[in-house]
Structure 1
Amino acid sequence: MANVYSFDGLLVFGLLFICTCAYLKKVPRVKGWLLAEKRGVWGVFFKASVIGTRLHLTVALSCVTMAFYVLFLK
């Protein structure tokens, strides 16, 4: 449980959140329901999906790097 409050745990959560929102942007029913708002609390999901789709190469490389770190270095 201590891993949730560490910096690398926060990075893993952020990467997974961005990847999940980018994936959900491709699902038509979820896109209209979850990603319709661009401001407020629900806007965080929209902004994360935009980051995931526009910076897909950077996010993918970050995920691979973080997976290597968690599996072998931690």
Structure 2
Amino acid sequence: MNPDLKKNGLINALSGPLPGRKSQQKIAVDLFDPDTIKREKIKRHGFEFMSPYYALSNEKIWGAIAMILSEFLELAGQMQ
């Protein structure tokens, strides 16, 4: 058995950073800045559509995480 795997009763879990993944980094951005929200044309399963994403440093945050951020910003904006 790989020494990096620990048995927890249900599944085998890796401890520490996952192989091939970037280490965690802090990115300071203004999520309320409209320039951080971009759109890109993507093709998936034979369909073409425009997908919104957040452009943060050299990364694209899209999909479920972008949806969660969008909802958070909507709620935070209502509180101001």
* TM-score of the aligned structures, taking structure 1 as reference length: 0.29
Greater strand content:
2
Greater helix fraction, Structure 1 or Structure 2: 1
Larger radius of gyration: 2
Structure with larger RCO (C-alpha < 8 A, sep 6+) = 1
TM-score (norm 2): 0.27
